[in-house]
Amino acid sequence: MIEKPNPFNDKLLLNILAVSNEATAIYTTDDIVIQFANDAMLGFWGKDRSVIGLPLEEGVPELKGQPFKYMLQQVLRTGITDNGIISAETLINGELQTNYYEYEYRAIPDDNGVPYCVLHTAANVTERERNKRVIAQQQEEAQALTEELEASNEELRLINEELIISNNELDNAQTQLQAAYNSLEENEIALRLAIEAANFGTWHINSITRAFITSARLRELFGYRADEEITIEDTLAQITDEYRGLVSKKFENAIYNGGDFDVTYQVVGYHDQVTRWLRAIGNLKADPSGEFSNFTGVVMDVSELRRDEQRKNDFIGMVSHELKTPLTSMKGYVQILKSKADKNQDKFSSDVLDKANNQVSKMTTLINGFLNVSRLESGKIQIDKQVFDMALLVKEVEEESITTITSHKVVFAPVVETIVKADRDKIGQVINNFISNAVKYSPAGSTIEVACITINGKALVSVKDQGMGIAPKDIDKLFERYYRVENNSTATIAGFGIGLYLSSEIVERHNGNIGVESVLGKGSTFWFTLPVNLV
């Protein structure tokens, strides 16, 4: 075959490449010497033709530190074409610029197939790449926004669910509130009806302003006209002198110390001048604002009750008084008979008369008790104070108990001199009452311990038994008039519930204290204190 002559020699080809719009360069050797670069490529580099013939990083020093030399060496060494998009930093018009290029490094083999040069073509795709990046960034931002929105959406959904739950709860609370309100309204109506039916007067006081709101009935109870405006002072003025101080004290104590308010007193009506006994019961309730309290209460007319009590009291007083005289005579007759029996050495009669004498004494104590209650109620009890030694009084009680109490072991602890100023007989009565109760409410044969010591400037007398004890619910009421514990153990024990009432009244009138410690089924210790007389 005859070879056709090739019209394109190397020089021609290079000339063609030189005018091509596509940026082109050719490199040889491991130093990547620029053998050829057309104007388009020189434009990318920001250089002129003087770089041709120089190694790449010498001709275009800005490319040092960028990967091009290494990439070109790889293509020349391996013969494997490398292409893609890459950014390059070059100095154009004295300014460092970063641009993106779509490039291809293609190894050109010699006749033996060994790569001897690299053909480099490139296109500036900066604009496109930047747009792509902006779009990608926008997409990323949009994605982030979408994710955020989704998260907010989820939160909103959860909040919504919670709101639905709260709404349901609110609905329930509303229903309950309505029900509570309804029952409150019913209660209020019932209360109003009860107050009207019982003919109670009602009052209401603001603890700070002292504004006094009263019902018409209350005004009537104090002798004012139903439509009259009255003040707290107006009501206090109608209370009798004997009770005004007590009511004021209780009133102030209730308002400023939250003490209980239940007081019975006598009033003389303002217009009608009628004497009435009134009982007022009040309750202090703090306002939710915490700034003031409301003091609310009722007043009832207890005149009839008081009159009944007075009549009962008078009757008891009269009967007791009338019984005393025959009893005193009876005691005298028994004693005369006893001395006669003793003289005749009639032991049987003497013993029987001793027993009769004991019973008469018991009866005398009982009647004296009633008489004392009656005197106490009508304010006629007398306390005759004298200075004496408690040790001697306790000794007397001891001697008396040795002769009268045989059913129990009464043990008296040694007492040192303890001088007090008190009504000796009445204090003796209190100790005797404690001892006789200990005998009554503890089993025969058990021990009763009596002691008198001085503690914190006070004489403390105590009587301890091993008896039935007292339940906590009864303890507070024991010292009330006519109060008796009612259970199977006390049912058969006689009494009227006046001994402890009298004892507490006597001790109180001496500025002493009285009390009891007790364990049900184990025993009780009754005690009282009196101030020691230091003079």
Q: Which parts of 496-515 interact with ligand ADP (CB under 6 A)?
A: 496-501
SS3 state of residue 258:
coil
Report the half-sphere exposure of 446 (CA within 13 A, side-chain side). 18
Q: Which parts of 406-435 interact with ligand ADP (CB under 6 A)?
A: 433
In sign, the C-alpha dihedral spanning 63, 69, 71, 75 is positive
Segment lying near ligand ADP (by CB under 6 A), choices 94-102, 179-187, 298-306, 488-496: 488-496
Closest approach, Cβ 439 to ligand ADP, in A, equals 9
468 binds ligand ADP (CB under 6 A): yes
Distance CA 480, CA 477 (A): 5
Nearest residue (beta carbon) to ligand ADP = 495
524 binds ligand ADP (CB under 6 A): yes
Tokens of 22: 């596509």
Closest approach, Cβ 397 to ligand ADP, in A, equals 16
> Which residue in the set 349, 368, 454, 490 belongs to the binding site for ligand ADP (CB under 6 A)?
490
Of 429 and 437, the one with the shorter C-beta distance to ligand ADP is 437
Closest approach, Cβ 264 to ligand ADP, in A, equals 22
Count of residues binding ligand ADP (CB under 6 A)? 22
Of 1 and 491, the one with the shorter C-beta distance to ligand ADP is 491
Closest approach, Cβ 499 to ligand ADP, in A, equals 3
Distance CA 76, CA 118 (A): 6
Closest approach, Cβ 447 to ligand ADP, in A, equals 13
Among left, alpha and beta (phi > 0; psi -120 to 50; other), residue 456 is left
Distance CA 360, CA 362 (A): 5
Distance CA 107, CA 118 (A): 4
Angle between helices 390-404 and 424-440 (to 10 degrees): 40
Segment lying near ligand ADP (by CB under 6 A), choices 37-45, 133-141, 176-184, 492-500: 492-500
> Which residue in the set 23, 470, 514, 530 belongs to the binding site for ligand ADP (CB under 6 A)?
470
SS3 state of residue 243:
helix
Distance CA 443, CA 517 (A): 18
Closest approach, Cβ 301 to ligand ADP, in A, equals 30
Site string for ligand ADP, 433-452 (x = CB under 6 A): x---xx-xx-----------
What count of other Cβ atoms lies within 10 Å of the Cβ of residue 256?
Answer: 11
465 binds ligand ADP (CB under 6 A): yes
484 binds ligand ADP (CB under 6 A): yes
Buried b (16+ CB within 10 A) or exposed e, 426-456: bbbbbbbbbbbbbbebbeeeeebbbbbebee
Closest approach, Cβ 430 to ligand ADP, in A, equals 11
Where along the sequence are the contacts to ligand ADP (CB under 6 A)? 433, 437-438, 440-441, 465, 467-468, 470, 478, 483-485, 490, 495-501, 524
